[in-house]
């Protein structure tokens, strides 16, 4: 009996340990290093090689101007000529420049039509410079476009399409030409920023880091934790060790409600004081049965329509008032609401009523 009890305690201990480990998150999943981020790039260019699905030069003056400017740089003058080609299109090119990208690295780009092109399928993007918010060129893009869409049209004007043929991507279509200049190796101090600001979580992050590397972390507020690398370790190596430390995240008590789609999301910290809940649906049905009233033969009078209405009231039975105990957990609250047999939309009204009664210890956010 004692051996069996010891075995059960061991299994319970292992299960409890596994649960606690699963409840923890790595620092890298809840925080980011300040300054280590991607940068948005944008450019304007031309796509050629389209099978008659490009821009109409009469309706797209900027496409005509771009064509004239490009051909002039290549030694061909077409200004004043009656160009009616529909095999090219003006597009915008966008890309994300990852942090620490070096010259020569390849990144993906997205292209989108600017005028009345029908499809970019089969087109080739000509050399296009991609600029950052500071106006500097950080990458150059060129390549064949893949739209992943299908479209077709008939002579009568009927058409069918699947996907968006006027937008596409070029895998590894841009070459990085310039670095962003963020030098982490020369920094004596970096700051971690929590994705969901919380004072408790910030203090836990600083405490976990100081437990492994004493005196290296300080929580400045509910969002920022300042880090200073130990003398024997570089900043990149220090961050690689810090971001894998486990942390128990503290989340506020909040209820998110999407009334349009009938979606409710409640955090584990939501608590309810003692409250009694009753819910029932009242259905009023009105049915119109118009009848015709006409006089007897050879008598005075006229035929008229007389309205006749049948009104019935139905109320769902079996709905009892249920008491939800004080300080109840999220699981108990959900079970209590489910016991009432309410729909998600009715549950939204109940939660708002509980909040109005002062019995819901949580913030309600309506999307």
SS3 labels along 30-87: HEEECCCCCEEEEEEEEEECCCCCCCCCCCCHHHHHHHHHHHHHCCCCCCCCCCCCCC
Confidence of residue 14 (pLDDT cuts 50, 70, 90): very low
Find the DSSP H helices in the chain.
Answer: 2-22, 27-30, 61-73, 199-212, 235-242, 330-339, 344-356
Tens-digit pLDDT profile for residues 55-104: 888 888 888 888 888 888 888 887 777 777 888 999 999 999 999 899 99
Q: Which residues fall within 8 angstroms of residue 365, CB to CB, at 6 or more apart?
A: 254, 255, 256, 257
**pLDDT > 50? residue 9:** no
> Which residues does residue 322 pair with via DSSP β-bridges, in sequence order?
277
CB 27 within 8 A of CB 244: yes
CB 151 within 8 A of CB 119: yes
Confidence of residue 324 (pLDDT cuts 50, 70, 90): low
Q: Quickly tell me which residue has 């150059």 as its tokens.
A: 140
Give the number of other Cβ atoms within 10 Å of residue 183's Cβ. Answer: 10
**pLDDT > 80? residue 299:** no
Confidence of residue 281 (pLDDT cuts 50, 70, 90): low
Q: Which of 109-123, 252-266, 268-282, 316-330 has the highest mean pLDDT?
A: 109-123
Q: Quickly tell me which residue has 């841009």 as its tokens.
A: 174
């Amino acid at each position: 009996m004692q051996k069996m009890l010891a075995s059960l305690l061991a299994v319970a201990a292992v299960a409890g340990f596994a649960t606690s480990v699963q409840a923890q998150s790595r620092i890298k999943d809840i925080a980011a290093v300040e300054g280590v981020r991607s940068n948005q790039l944008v450019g304007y260019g031309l796509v050629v090689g389209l099978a008659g699905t490009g821009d109409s030069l009469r309706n797209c003056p900027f496409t005509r101007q771009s064509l004239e400017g490009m051909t002039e740089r290549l030694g061909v003058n077409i200004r004043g000529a009656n160009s009616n080609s529909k095999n090219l299109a003006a597009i915008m090119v966008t890309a994300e420049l990852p942090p620490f990208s070096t010259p020569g690295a390849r990144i993906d780009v997205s292209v989108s039509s600017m005028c009345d092109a029908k499809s970019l399928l089969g087109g080739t993007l000509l050399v296009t410079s991609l600029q950052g918010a500071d106006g500097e060129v950080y990458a150059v893009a060129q390549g064949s476009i893949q739209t992943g869409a299908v479209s077709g049209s008939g002579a009568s004007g009927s058409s069918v399409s699947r996907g968006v043929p006027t937008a596409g991507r070029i895998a590894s279509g841009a070459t990085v030409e310039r670095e962003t200049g963020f030098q982490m190796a020369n920094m004596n101090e970096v700051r971690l920023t929590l994705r969901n600001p919380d004072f408790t979580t910030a203090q836990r992050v600083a405490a976990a880091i100081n437990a492994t590397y004493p005196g290296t972390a300080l929580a400045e507020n509910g969002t920022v934790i300042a880090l200073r690398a130990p003398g024997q370790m570089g900043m990149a190596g220090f961050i690689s060790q810090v971001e894998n430390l486990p942390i128990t995240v503290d989340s506020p008590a909040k209820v998110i409600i999407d009334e349009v789609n009938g979606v409710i999301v409640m955090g584990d910290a939501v608590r309810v004081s003692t409250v009694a809940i009753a819910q029932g649906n009242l259905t009023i049905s009105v049915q119109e049965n118009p009848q015709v009233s006409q006089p007897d033969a050879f008598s005075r009078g006229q035929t008229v329509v007389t309205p006749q209405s049948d009104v019935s009231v139905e109320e769902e039975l079996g709905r009892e008032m249920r008491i939800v105990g004080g300080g109840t957990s999220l699981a108990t609250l959900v079970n209590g609401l489910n016991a009432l047999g309410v729909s998600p939309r009715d549950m939204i009204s109940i939660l708002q009523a509980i909040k109005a009664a002062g019995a819901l210890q949580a913030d309600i956010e309506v999307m």
